[in-house]
Structure 1
């Protein structure tokens, strides 16, 4: 069964492939923060309706996913037979995706930033850095500050760097154990259970237990519980941390490949296959990969 079995004890249905998809970059445009290429929706549905298990594994909130991704799939005719799953906030929140929309949320409160610390750092961002970033109010276990779409990249980068340094100092002063790059401030117990994690369009303040490997594990467990596996999984992402999805699958002894849609940041050496889509990047590379899967794997 290619390293997988259903939790029910029955032999799993093994699909030709399975997808573990980051959202920002390969699916949603980093510029518009929406699905800008219509074929992405069409090909996702074609794959899902052919029995391919599809999971979105993202740092985004369930609110963002509901409005920008789930609504598009539902409007385009997502069927009840499709197995589509969402893992949000890097594994802190998860839910099935159905023709009725996003299903019941499950939240891991054990990884949530303490409420007083969350309020303080969000106030810092709004008061001093609102010209370049905004607070994502949809987050449930982490704090996320995202680049305003009207903020030039150079303005945002300067504000992001300043905010991260200020947030590190503030959280440390509040007794929160926090990591920022190589800098660490421990809490009263000597631990540093949270980190500041920057991306090209955002800064996340999150539990060190949250990452894309945790999200991949959530997804594989959910598919297994529904009696579905895959001969080979493909993870797709634009950040070096997205390789953790494939790392987790590979560590379980399951065939996997990773599709890097921003290889200019440096393609990582791995024991499994790493794929790039020629000179294409971001959602253009994501769209090309999905179309190739429809043609090569499904023969459509």
Structure 2
């Protein structure tokens, strides 16, 4: 006799959870050194909150492929349930999809915000000709054009090369007649992107995606490691939503804001600080 297979458990989610999480990935969730989710508790706590109905949204400049390869397996291993309110808003709002135990759902791309393939080809060639010892071209991006520091490269050498790389980009943009494009360097990468992209666009897409499921969080925690990540909290606050922002790399300076800004009580940074806050929030849900 064949033993019947137990049905896959499905969480039931309330429409007005206590809070939602809008999270940058590099820094707060994934280590900027290893580019992986290196702290075990991060996946466990994110999954516990998602399974309890807390919206978990990865609002990142990373590609959907990075989320599928580095984040989804961690959530799956921690027992993420089907239907949990988890999404990725990738490439700063240009690409989005639901996150499920089996991977990403339908991947949607805003073609109006996608840079031309010719620019990608020119940037790829520039990296190969002058910068390949310290950085690589990100082949997984669908809308923006990005290069990233090679894992293990010397950070000071990379920053010097990055300045030269960034200085070469305006000429390529001019050659393609592109004037609505921003160059956005971070500590491990440079993104070349449509000027409408940003963490605020990711926040707007988040609210729309949750509305499609009838979910409206009563408050929000946003989290990031750069000044541009504050745009998430800015956008939510400007629309009358209750929000607090966690800065996991406050050494760059904390801008004035009309909402609460939180930093690690232990002076931890990056994913260690991220893990600290996620543990606190997961404890609230488990209580």
Query: Shorter chain as normaliser: what TM range?
Result: over 0.9
Tell me the equivalent position of 1:96.
98
Q: Distance in 2 between matches of 1:21 and 1:165?
A: 30
Q: Give, in whole Å, the separation in 1 of the partners of 2:149 and 2:178.
A: 25
Partner of 2:276: 288
2:198 to 207, 211, 214: 211
DSSP-derived class of the 2:152 partner: coil
Q: Distance in 2 between matches of 1:117 and 1:131?
A: 21
Q: Is the 8 A contact 1:117 1:176 kept in 2?
A: no
Residue 230 of structure 2 aligns to a residue whose secondary structure is helix
Mapped to 1, the partners of 2:83 and 2:104 lie a distance apart of 15
Distance across 1 between alignment mates of 2:165 and 2:89: 27
Distance 2:117 2:248 in 1: 35
Residue 173 (structure 1) shift = 3.1
Q: What corresponds to 2:233 in structure 1?
A: 246
Runs (5+) with no aligned partner, structure 1: 1-11, 178-192
Contact 1:43/1:294 (<8 A) preserved: yes
Partner SS for 1:94: strand
Shift in alpha-carbon separation, 1:173–1:81, aligned structure 2, 3 A: closer
Q: How does 1:21-170 map to 2 (within 5 A)?
A: 21-170=23-172
Give the distance between the partners of 1:81 and 1:164, measured in 2 at CA: 41
* 1:181 alignment counterpart: none
**C-alpha separation between the residues in 1 aligned to 2:218 and 2:199?**
21
Aligned-partner SS, 1:288: helix
Counterpart mapping for 1:258-277 below 5 A: 258-277=245-264
Offset at residue 233 of structure 1 (A): 0.4
Say whether 1:230 aligns with 2:217. yes
What RMSD over aligned residues (CA atoms) do the two structures have, in Å? 1.1
- Residues 12-23 of structure 1 aligned to structure 2 (within 5 Å): 13-23=15-25
The number of residue pairs the alignment matches comes to 273
Q: Distance in 2 between matches of 1:222 and 1:288?
A: 27
Give, in whole Å, the separation in 1 of the partners of 2:229 and 2:114: 21
Which 4+ residue blocks in structure 1 deviate beyond 6 angstroms? none
**Aligned-partner SS, 1:46:** helix
> Offset of 1:100 from its aligned partner?
1.6
CA distance in 1, matches of 2:186, 2:87: 24
User: How far 1:106 sits from its partner (Å)?
Assistant: 0.3
Q: Distance in 1 between matches of 2:258 and 2:139?
A: 39
Cα offset, 1:298, TM superposition: 1.7
Q: CA deviation at 1:76?
A: 2.2
